[in-house]
Structure 1
Amino acid sequence: MGTGNPMEMFVHHPLCLLRSVPSLPPLNHLSVCFPSRFRYAVLGAGFAGLSVAWHLLKQASKELKLCIDIYDEVGIGGGASGVSGGLIHPYSPKAKLLWRGAECWKESIELLNIAEAAIISRELDRLTQDLNQNNDESIVWRRGILRPATMKNVDILNENARNCLESCRIESIDKDAAQNLIPNICVPLSAIFMPEAMTIHPQRYLQALFLACKKLVKSSLVSGYEEKEINLHKKSVHKLIELAGEYNAIIICLGAKAGTLPELSGELPLRTCRGVVAHLQLPNDIEDEYGEHSPSVLSDAWLAVQGPRDMVMGSTWDWKSRNYSPNVSAEEASFALEELLPKASANYPGIQKWIFKGARAGVRAMPPKTPLGSLPILGCIDDFVDGKDGTKYWLVGGLGSRGLLYHGWLGKLMAGAVLSCNEDVLPSELTSWKKIKLL
């Protein structure tokens, strides 16, 4: 029997069971009442998973003992996130600001700055060398993005361009101005130019963000606060029950692979789409390099420029594919080039001089369409898992082809929901899919 002290019986309870208790102390004083460590599992080391992990560490009380285990069989950025083109801006193909685009843009830029700072710090102190050996390679190119207009969309592009964010401007430019930005670009009518838009190297960025997580953990220890820990496990989780009871919460950030978990099979309103991207290089004996400050190109086939002689071209759309392998066969690569090269050369004929260096593929988890557009799906999924072990289950999914834009904001939202164990802090537009599913 207990002593009758209400705080004693709370000591071993998960935080999520206590959020409605009036006398519960603020989150930053929880260690007084909850000396045991909180353990969270994040499934997936892509955009969503790394963002959730960072924000869990950042938002948790400094006095709270916290352990985060990230599970991904292929490591950081090994899935669809690492294969993406890395073009980031907050607009639709018609240059209209996306739903909550301002928040998404702000939070993604914040995470990018954090990742860059981690790399700069590593280069200065040389204390950590275990992520990659490309210390002198960039993770971001601030060269802007150009979208050529067509007869069908020129008017709507120009109209929407007038309502852009100050932090990511849209400029309507004519053919001559476009060719000044990208020599020999083929722009029949006009184009829109987003000077603040960026091109990211997805895998390097994710590695840098994980490095930032480790540095945040280290700084908390140096400052004398309660122990924080983050671990990466290159291991598959085939069933959620494998981890049941080991964690206070499990956050599923597996993209299209979330539907392969038996507990979620057939439960998620996601469509799968495999995309192949081709890595191209300009031969050494050709001097016609891509301009140092020339923007990447966004059209029927995009060109993500990573240097004067390196770029990525994409992407194909193979709907309902269940081929999750990042490897691309010679036949699949040939089909991809046949599809993408004519589209890319229509805008940038010089691409014909570039040579094919390899291809990678990833399966996107495309979200359901809503009146507000195709929105990601978030929420607590205890009702789907039917767990009875005290573990809470959460999902971040359906980022589709906009994972780089969405991930910062969604990771921040999900971390807040997990730490408070309160789904109500999430926008209803992102959790409404559950109500439809459970009817």
Structure 2
Amino acid sequence: MLLPRSNLPPARARYRGLHTRRATPPVSLSQRPLRYAVLGAGFAGLSVAWHLLQESPKDLGLRIDIYDEVGIGGGASGVSGGLLHPYSPKGKLLTWGAECWKESVKLLSIAEAAAGHNSDGFIVRRRGILRPAMNMKNLLALNDNVQNCLASCRMETIDKDAAQNLVPNLCVPFNSAFYMPEAVNIHPQRYLQALFLACENLVKELSPSGFGGKEFCLHKKSIHKLLDFEGEYDGVVICLGAKADLLPELSGRLPLRTCRGVVAHLQLPADMGEEYPDHGPSILSDAWIAFQGRRSLYMGSTWEWKSRNSSPIVSADESSTALQELLPKASSVYPGIKNWTFTDARAGLRAMPPLTPHGSLPLLGCVDDILGGNHTCNYWLFGGLGSRGLLYHGWLGKLIAQAMLSANEDLIPCELTAWKKIKQ
């Protein structure tokens, strides 16, 4: 559990402790600000950056540099389906479901407020998510979720007529569907751009004079090795997803499983008069359907295990294979998708966490011991978010930011740091 902030030493003492534990001479806080490097500009990286700014004392000089060779949302985060709800497809409420949900919803609101009326299209589509029960095992698991649902994100059982009122002609073979009215569908790229803007706005708010205070900068640079950051930063946090394993210092030392997923974009042809209802929810099943409006949707996702291909570019052959896999699954729930036309596809390489007795949990913690040697800064990892990065990123980004600022890994639940004890 997260320790109460009152159990921590005073802020200034924490930062002095962080500096004096190193081999190099301590640097006075009056001489320069703390400097952190955030590697990766997806869900994880931007959440950590926001919380480093938000959680640090207002009078603390702080500079945050984000490094990403593509830019905001250039990796798997930017091509995710964007469906946000706190429930496991296996029927178990996540251990920290309430915290994860609360913090992710908070970040969505922060991003929307930062974008204001300047956003080109929606950031968060609040139409709920619907999941029909397709077999008896599925029905029992979802009933378990209904019994243990969060008050802030209800899951309720509805019959076939109610489900088809939301989505005409929806297939409901067991006469039961599970509706989450507070669940949302986000546009990943717009959300990440807006969260980056929120970080910039927070820096301006905390540094009104333009001198000292907080600084925040994005660098579109390739990251070749961690040692390139030695001597420049007080802390480095690795939020690179599957690419973390490509760093020479970490290669083969992380218990990550990689999986490439292809997502298809479909549109309703102009000559089709019957649009998807504006109030209609997105759909979860063997293939998910994330509606972007009345005439646009994303369908996903494929699972190509052990792939090392992180390119977002999808070839014609890969697109064809993905459609052959996804369309039968999607049409078995929503037959109307057969009237929609394929426009393009995109892909991302997910970093899937290891299987543990506690489930498949992300990887958090300080990796100084894994790197070995005597370094001039602390190195941290926030990875293995898998297919649930949107749900995890808010709360876990806050946890690792607090741990970095305090130089105290014990602020992170031990289940999330236990991966370091697994022999590779």
Aligned counterparts of 2:144 and 2:246: Cα–Cα separation in 1: 42
Please state whether the residue corresponding to 2:163 is helix, strand or coil. Answer: helix
Which residue of structure 2 aligns with residue 23 of structure 1?
none
Which residue of structure 2 aligns with residue 7 of structure 1?
none
Aligned counterparts of 2:349 and 2:358: Cα–Cα separation in 1: 24
Matching residue's letter, 1:328: V
Structure 2 gaps of 5+ residues are 1-11, 22-26
What are the equivalent positions in structure 2 for 1:324-403 lying under 5 Å apart? 324-403=310-389
Quote how far apart the aligned CAs of 1:137 are.
Answer: 0.5
Instruction: Name the CA shift for 1:33/1:67 in 2 (closer, same or farther; >3 Å).
Output: closer
Matching residue's letter, 1:146: L
Note if 1:67 corresponds to 2:63: yes
CA-atom RMSD in angstroms: 2.0
What are the equivalent positions in structure 2 for 1:424-435 lying under 5 Å apart? 424-435=410-421
Normalising by the residue count of structure 2, what TM-score does the alignment of the two structures yield?
A: 0.92
Please state whether the residue corresponding to 2:189 is helix, strand or coil. Answer: helix
Which residue of structure 2 aligns with residue 228 of structure 1?
214
Aligned counterparts of 1:366 and 1:173: Cα–Cα separation in 2: 33
Instruction: Name the CA shift for 1:33/1:268 in 2 (closer, same or farther; >3 Å).
Output: closer
Aligned counterparts of 1:224 and 1:362: Cα–Cα separation in 2: 38
Quote how far apart the aligned CAs of 1:223 are.
Answer: 6.8
User: Do the aligned partners of 2:204 and 2:210 also contact (CA within 8 Å) in 1?
Assistant: no
Which residue of structure 2 aligns with residue 280 of structure 1?
266
User: Do the aligned partners of 1:305 and 1:312 also contact (CA within 8 Å) in 2?
Assistant: yes
What are the equivalent positions in structure 2 for 1:22-41 lying under 5 Å apart? 34-41=30-37
Which residue of structure 1 aligns with residue 43 of structure 2?
47
Aligned counterparts of 2:65 and 2:71: Cα–Cα separation in 1: 12
Match of 2:18 among 16, 19, 23: 16
Instruction: Give structure 1 regions of 4+ aligned residues with deviation exceeding 6 angstroms.
Output: none
User: Do the aligned partners of 1:96 and 1:161 also contact (CA within 8 Å) in 2?
Assistant: no
Matching residue's letter, 1:312: Y
Please state whether the residue corresponding to 1:393 is helix, strand or coil. Answer: strand
Instruction: Name the CA shift for 1:165/1:18 in 2 (closer, same or farther; >3 Å).
Output: farther
Aligned counterparts of 1:143 and 1:33: Cα–Cα separation in 2: 48
Q: State the aligned residue count.
A: 406
Cα deviation per residue 1:127-176 (whole Å; 9 max; x = unaligned)?
A: xxxxxxxx341011000001110232213322331110000001111111
Match of 1:201 among 166, 187, 194: 187
Aligned counterparts of 1:105 and 1:364: Cα–Cα separation in 2: 21
Which residue of structure 2 aligns with residue 81 of structure 1?
77
Cα deviation per residue 1:167-207 (whole Å; 9 max; x = unaligned)?
A: 00011111111101101111111111111000010111000
Please state whether the residue corresponding to 1:411 is helix, strand or coil. Answer: helix
Aligned counterparts of 2:99 and 2:187: Cα–Cα separation in 1: 22
Quote how far apart the aligned CAs of 1:34 are.
Answer: 4.0
Note if 1:147 corresponds to 2:143: no
Structure 1 gaps of 5+ residues are 1-9, 20-30, 124-134
Which residue of structure 2 aligns with residue 182 of structure 1?
167
Quote how far apart the aligned CAs of 1:245 are.
Answer: 1.4
Which residue of structure 2 aligns with residue 156 of structure 1?
141
Aligned counterparts of 1:245 and 1:428: Cα–Cα separation in 2: 30
Please state whether the residue corresponding to 2:347 is helix, strand or coil. Answer: strand
Matching residue's letter, 1:163: N
Note if 1:261 corresponds to 2:257: no
Aligned counterparts of 1:94 and 1:255: Cα–Cα separation in 2: 23
User: Do the aligned partners of 2:87 and 2:145 also contact (CA within 8 Å) in 1?
Assistant: no
Quote how far apart the aligned CAs of 1:372 are.
Answer: 2.2
Note if 1:118 corresponds to 2:103: no
Quote how far apart the aligned CAs of 1:226 are.
Answer: 4.2
The percent identity for this pair of structures is 68
Quote how far apart the aligned CAs of 1:79 are.
Answer: 0.4
User: Do the aligned partners of 1:50 and 1:210 also contact (CA within 8 Å) in 2?
Assistant: yes
Quote how far apart the aligned CAs of 1:16 are.
Answer: 1.5
Which residue of structure 2 aligns with residue 6 of structure 1?
none
Matching residue's letter, 2:126: R
Normalising by the residue count of structure 1, what TM-score does the alignment of the two structures yield?
A: 0.89
Aligned counterparts of 1:151 and 1:296: Cα–Cα separation in 2: 20
Note if 1:138 corresponds to 2:122: yes
